[in-house]
Amino acid sequence: MSLSRQQIRDLRRLQQKKYREEERAFLIEGVRLCEEALAAGAPVECAFFFPDGMENPRARSLLQALSGREIPLQPVDATTLAALTETRSPQGIAALVRAGETGPFSPAGNREPLVLAVDDLADPGNLGTLLRTAVWFGVKSLLLSRDTVELHNPKVVRSSMGALFRLRIHEGIDLEQTAAAARSAGWRLLAAEAAGGQPAHRISGGGRDLLIIGSEAHGLKSGLDQLIDLRITIPGSGGVESLNAAIAAGILLYQLTGSH
């Protein structure tokens, strides 16, 4: 049994942000991303695979793992698979994943040592890389401002390499309000500053740190900027204006989580 035209149309609509938000669902593609979703216990609803593209051992054991979890497996032809996904050379499998419902972020109740907040980041590859980096350094919760690129954008999902399944991500956050609430609840607010801040090498994690990553182009919005307790400067310059936001975030996470 194959997919009906209506089913294909419904799935294809998930290439658009509007429908992903309406349905609270998105498609992931490729063996690796499906493996990551399963390993992290993400709510995979069903998978669509092109049998001829899934004959290597790794792909087969993924299919076994999916059916072991009683996730419906739908064989499709190569054309259908390509139609469901955005990439030019589909990778044999795609899966429909339900977007998690994270609920509000409560700064008073949260006891994690370091939470990351992302303000107004537009580039999807950058956000995906940032998620992957955050997981590497043990971050559990992450806040995304309303004006940050959508979490389930296919490029974010791909470049996160599955990291989005391992984080508690609060989307659509009013960061100014949340940062103010966090500050009142005893959190230290940190942000990178291109020049003039505390040298990064001297900073240590403080226990309840909210690290805010802003857009490279505009910096933090003024309301948010004036809440910052600790401005951190990564030494350098050499003729470039700034570091990429994900690189700066990686360095600050490395510094804040390091043992010194």
Non-local CB neighbours of 102 within 8 Å, separated by 6+ positions: 168, 169, 170, 171
Q: How far is the CB of 249 from its own copies (least distance, A)?
A: 9
Among residues 6 and 259, whose Cβ is nearest to its own copies?
259
Q: How far is the CB of 251 from its own copies (least distance, A)?
A: 5
Q: Does 43 bind its own copies (CB under 8 A)?
A: no
From start to end of 5-92, where are the E strands?
25-29, 44-49, 73-75
Work out which of 24, 60, 69, 201 binds its own copies, going by CB under 8 A: 201
The DSSP-derived string for 120-135 is S---HHHHHHHHHHHH
**Bridge partner list, 118:** 144, 213
CB of 77 closer than 8 Å to CB of 50: yes
* Whole-angstrom distance, CA of residue 169 vs CA of residue 140: 8
Q: Does 236 bind its own copies (CB under 8 A)?
A: yes
The Cα angle at residue 35 between residues 150 and 132, in degrees rounded to 5: 45
* Pairing status of strand 25-29 against strand 93-98: antiparallel
Q: Does 246 bind its own copies (CB under 8 A)?
A: yes
Among residues 155 and 231, whose Cβ is nearest to its own copies?
155
Among residues 102 and 257, whose Cβ is nearest to its own copies?
257
Smallest CA-to-CA distance from 17 within 137, 145, 133, 150 is with 150
Work out which of 15, 21, 25, 40 binds its own copies, going by CB under 8 A: 40
Q: Does 39 bind its own copies (CB under 8 A)?
A: yes
Q: How far is the CB of 129 from its own copies (least distance, A)?
A: 5
Q: Does 100 bind its own copies (CB under 8 A)?
A: no
Q: How far is the CB of 3 from its own copies (least distance, A)?
A: 31
Query: In the 8-state DSSP scheme, what is residue 257?
Result: H
The Cα angle at residue 186 between residues 182 and 188, in degrees rounded to 5: 75
* Whole-angstrom distance, CA of residue 141 vs CA of residue 144: 10
Among residues 132 and 170, whose Cβ is nearest to its own copies?
132
Q: How far is the CB of 163 from its own copies (least distance, A)?
A: 5
Residue 24 Rama label (left phi>0; alpha psi -120 to 50; beta):
left
Work out which of 161, 180, 227, 230 binds its own copies, going by CB under 8 A: 161
Q: Does 15 bind its own copies (CB under 8 A)?
A: no
Binding mask 108-137 for its own copies (x = CB under 8 A): -----------------x---x--xx-xxx
Q: Does 251 bind its own copies (CB under 8 A)?
A: yes
Q: How far is the CB of 11 from its own copies (least distance, A)?
A: 26
Applying CB under 8 A, which residues contact its own copies? 39-40, 125, 129, 132-133, 135-139, 161-163, 166, 199-201, 234-244, 246-247, 250-251, 254-255, 257-260
